[in-house]
Amino acid sequence: MIDDTPRKSRLLYRWNRQLHLYLGIVASPLLLIFAITTILLNHGVTPSPLIQDATVSVVLEEGLEGPALVESVLAQLDLTGEVVGRGQVRNGKTTIRVAKPGNAKIINVDVESQEAVISDRVFGLMDTLRYLHLNPGPHKSPSWIFSRMWGWVADSTVYITLFLTVTGIYLWSVLRSEQKAGLIALGSGAFAFVTILYSLLV
């Protein structure tokens, strides 16, 4: 009986190397986005949006409130995006927020006068990327289909990063010429992590 273990090992190494390479290339633009926006968040970079206000008329049925009110206003204004606001009317008014990457609209609806004041905020490229980093974020259940799709993309990026980490460790372990340098690098990373964690906890 012929031992095919070496052949299986070579096949496993080849598949890991190819997947590591091409999945790394696929994920690299997304990892770059998250890296840049993490720096922006860490250093408290705040956007300076261009704000434009406009007043428009809306037609609302008497007594309309809640999600039906929100749906009616957005349909009349032909707006789509991630919606925040339940259509609760207080003192004859309600506020609806509709957000997209690079743009946020705050709609103050006066139910009695049948008017809506739209504050249109337009952001630049960096804050658009920052929005993507935070979206959908904790305690949010995205309602817009594109927000859900972006959530899937963000999850996929995490899974690919985990895969790249595992396959990277495997590839390093089978390359004997790189094992010493890899141990030094791994030890340096572990030392930095433990030092930072200790500083935060103590």
Q: What is the pLDDT of residues 34-58, one digit of tens each?
A: 888 888 777 776 666 778 888 899 9
Is 16 within the bounds of a domain? Answer: yes
Of 73, 96, 100, 74, give the one whose Cα is nearest residue 86.
96
Q: Which amino acid is it at 142?
A: P
Indicate whether 3 and 89 sit together in one domain. no
As for how many domains the chain has, the answer is 2
Q: Alpha carbon of 51 to those of 48, 63, 94, 118, 128: distances in Å?
A: 9, 32, 20, 10, 15
Q: 133 and 115: one domain? A: no
How far is 131 from 196, CA to CA, in rounded Å? 28
Shared domain check, 135 and 40: yes
Please check whether residue 119 lies inside any domain of the structure: yes
- In this structure, are 29 and 67 located in the same domain? no
Predicted structure pTM score: 0.65
Q: Domain end: 123, 152, 176, which one? A: 123
> Both 138 and 173 in a single domain?
yes
Query: Is 119 found in the same domain as 56?
Result: yes
Which of 75, 91, 123 finishes a domain?
123
Q: Kindly report the backbone phi and psi dihedral angles of residue 67, in degrees, each rounded to the nearest multiple of 5, phi listed first.
A: -55, -35
Are 42 and 61 within one domain? no
Residue 201 lies in a domain: no
* Confidence (pLDDT) at 202: 63
Give the integer Cα–Cα distance in Å for 119 and 97.
10
Domain stops at, among 64, 99, 123: 123
Question: 166-183 pLDDT, tens per residue?
Answer: 888 888 877 776 677 777
Upstream peptide bond of 136 is cis (omega within 30 degrees of 0): yes
- Tell me which residue has tokens 């290339």: 25
Is residue 129 located within the same domain as residue 38?
yes
Same domain, yes or no: 75 and 129: no
pLDDT in tens, 119-129: 988 887 877 88
CB atoms within 10 A of CB 104: 22
Range of the domain at 94: 50-123
DSSP 3-state of 117 = strand
For 161, residues 6+ apart whose C-beta sits below 8 A from its C-beta are 27, 31
